[in-house]
Amino acid sequence: MARRLLVIDDNVPSCRLMAAIFEPQGFAVALAHSAETGLEMARSFAPDVVALDYELPGMSGLEALERLRTSFPEIAVIMLTAHNDVKLAVKTTQLGAYDYLTKPVDTDEVLAVFRRAVEMQDLRREVAQLRRDAVGDTLAAQMGPSPQVADIIDQVATVARSDFTVLVLGETGTGKELVAQAIHRESPRAREAFIAIDCGAIPETLLESELFGHEKGAFSGAERRKEGQFQLAEGGTVFLDEIGNLPMTLQAKLLRALESREVHAVGATRATPMDVRFVAATNIDLQERVAAGQFRADLFFRLAQYTLRLPPLRDRPSDIAHLAQRFLVEARVELRRPVVDFAPEALEVLAQQRWPGNVRELRNVARQAVLRSKTPSVDADMVRALLGSAPEHEPVSTVAVGQRTLKEIADEAAREAERTAIREALLATGGNKTQAARLLRVDFKTLHVKMKQLGIEARES
**pLDDT computed for residue 460 by the predictor:** 47
Same domain, 146 and 127: no
224 Cβ contact partners less than 8 Å away, ≥ 6 residues apart: 60, 62, 63, 216
Task: Supply the CATH number for residue 21's domain.
Answer: 3.40.50.2300
The domain boundary, picked from 108, 131, 154, lies at 131
Closest Cα partner for 355 from 404, 402, 403, 316? 316
Same domain, 245 and 390: no
**pLDDT computed for residue 404 by the predictor:** 56
* Start-to-end C-alpha separation, the chain: 37
Closest Cα partner for 120 from 436, 443, 367, 430? 436
Q: How far out from the chain centre does Cα 186 lie? A: 19
What does the pLDDT look like over 248-274, one tens digit per residue?
Answer: 989 999 999 999 999 999 988 888 999
Same domain, 207 and 74: no
Please count the other Cβ atoms lying within 10 Å of the Cβ belonging to residue 328. 23
Please count the other Cβ atoms lying within 10 Å of the Cβ belonging to residue 410. 24
Please give the residue range of the domain that contains residue 302: 142-311
The domain boundary, picked from 78, 103, 131, lies at 131
70 Cβ contact partners less than 8 Å away, ≥ 6 residues apart: 193, 195, 232, 233
Radius of gyration of the chain (CA): 23
Same domain, 176 and 251: yes
**pLDDT computed for residue 399 by the predictor:** 44
Same domain, 220 and 277: yes
- Per the structure, how many domains does the chain have? 3
Same domain, 343 and 444: yes
Task: Supply the CATH number for residue 410's domain.
Answer: 1.10.8.60
Task: Supply the CATH number for residue 192's domain.
Answer: 3.40.50.300
> How far apart, in whole angstroms, are the C-alpha atoms of residue 55 and residue 367?
41
> How far apart, in whole angstroms, are the C-alpha atoms of residue 278 and residue 80?
35
Same domain, 284 and 216: yes
Same domain, 148 and 262: yes
On whether residue 137 sits in a domain, the answer given is no
Same domain, 283 and 328: no
Task: Decide: pTM greater than 0.85.
Answer: no
> How far apart, in whole angstroms, are the C-alpha atoms of residue 102 and residue 84?
6
On whether residue 375 sits in a domain, the answer given is yes
On whether residue 359 sits in a domain, the answer given is yes
**Quick one: DSSP state of residue 293?**
T
On whether residue 136 sits in a domain, the answer given is no
pLDDT in tens, the chain (461 residues): 678 999 999 999 999 999 999 999 999 999 999 998 999 899 889 899 999 999 898 888 888 998 888 788 889 999 998 877 777 777 888 788 898 898 888 899 999 999 998 888 887 777 767 666 655 668 888 999 999 999 999 999 999 999 999 999 999 899 999 999 999 999 999 989 899 998 887 877 788 888 998 888 888 777 778 888 998 899 999 999 999 989 998 999 999 999 999 999 998 888 899 999 999 999 999 999 999 999 999 999 999 999 999 999 999 999 999 999 999 988 888 788 899 999 999 999 999 999 988 999 999 999 999 999 999 999 999 999 998 855 444 443 344 445 556 656 666 777 777 888 888 777 767 677 777 777 777 777 778 778 877 878 765 44
**pLDDT computed for residue 395 by the predictor:** 40
Query: Reduced to 3 states, what is the DSSP secondary structure of residue 279?
Result: strand
**pLDDT computed for residue 280 by the predictor:** 97
Same domain, 291 and 356: no
The domain boundary, picked from 311, 330, 362, lies at 311
Q: Check residue 40 and give left, alpha or beta (phi > 0: left; psi -120 to 50: alpha).
A: alpha
On whether residue 172 sits in a domain, the answer given is yes
Same domain, 296 and 368: no
**pLDDT computed for residue 416 by the predictor:** 78
Same domain, 100 and 151: no
